[in-house]
């Protein structure tokens, strides 16, 4: 069971990642539909997952829903129960000198298309820009990952670049798009 929530939205909450969460993360990261869209096809052992969180863990969160919210079909049951992890939202790396983070997220296959990644990412962006004084957040996305492209664009990210043959996916080299979101763009949109 995840520890206490760090921040909460309407349907999801973000929780700091603890050692007992590593099995869920390992299972999620090793799922072919997750690892391929992340452009990271490395096999993750439990020890590999632990290494991911040795540094920079302050920007890695479990995305959770109340078990009542995660009922079949995503329909709320009206009961509030223990939070259930459904994915991860994080900064894979942070450049402290210029206050830029590199966004990464994934949602377990059985919980996709419920809006969890969009809301979880918005909570992370609120934290990064309003509380941690980040200047910018970047994201890379495989050009065939239309769902992630829609998510980024719905949050106000602008496409800033196109990297050719950047990632090896399903036996083929694929291009990636680079997206960016500036603090004032996020904060101004939040105020309106």
What is the pLDDT at residue 107? 92
Calculate what percentage of the chain has a pLDDT beyond 70: 78
As a whole number of angstroms, the distance between CA 136 and CA 180 comes to 7
Q: Which residue has the tokens 């990464």?
A: 104
Confidence of residue 81 (pLDDT cuts 50, 70, 90): low
Give the pLDDT band of residue 75 (cuts 50, 70, 90).
very low
Q: What is the pLDDT of residues 152-189, one digit of tens each?
A: 999 999 999 999 998 887 788 989 999 999 999 999 88
C-alpha distances in angstroms, 169 versus 39, 45, 119, 146, 177?
7, 20, 27, 15, 14
pLDDT of residue 98: 93
CA angle 107, 15, 11 (to 5 degrees): 60
What pLDDT sits at residue 162?
Answer: 97
Is domain 7-191 given the CATH code 3.20.20.140 in the classification? no
Q: What is the mean pLDDT of residues 134-157?
A: 95
**38 band by pLDDT with thresholds 50, 70 and 90:** low
Q: What is the rounded average pLDDT of the residues 97-120?
A: 93
Annotated domain spans of the chain:
7-191
| pLDDT at residue 102 is higher than 50 | yes
List pLDDT tens digits, range 45-73: 666 666 666 665 778 899 999 865 554 45
Query: Cα(102)–Cα(120) distance, rounded to whole angstroms?
Result: 15
Which tops the pLDDT comparison, 70 or 8?
Answer: 8
Provide the 8-state DSSP code for 102.
Answer: E
């Amino acid at each position: 069971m995840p520890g206490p929530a760090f921040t909460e939205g309407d349907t999801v909450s973000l929780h700091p990642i603890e050692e007992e969460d590593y099995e869920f993360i390992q299972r999620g990261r090793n799922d072919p539909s997750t690892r391929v869209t992340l452009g990271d096809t490395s096999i993750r052992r439990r020890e590999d997952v632990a290494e991911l969180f040795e540094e920079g863990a302050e920007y890695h969160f479990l995305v959770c829903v109340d078990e009542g919210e995660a009922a079949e079909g995503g329909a709320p049951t009206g009961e509030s129960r223990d939070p259930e992890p459904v994915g991860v939202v994080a900064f894979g790396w942070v450049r402290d000198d210029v206050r830029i983070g590199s966004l990464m997220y994934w949602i377990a296959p059985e919980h996709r298309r419920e809006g969890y990644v969009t809301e979880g990412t918005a909570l992370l962006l609120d934290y990064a820009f309003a509380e941690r004084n980040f200047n910018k957040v970047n994201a890379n996305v495989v050009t065939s990952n239309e769902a992630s492209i829609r998510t980024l664009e719905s949050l106000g990210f602008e496409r800033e670049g196109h990297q050719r043959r950047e990632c090896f996916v399903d036996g083929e080299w694929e291009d990636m798009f680079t997206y960016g979101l500036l603090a004032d763009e996020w904060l101004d949109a939040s105020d309106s």
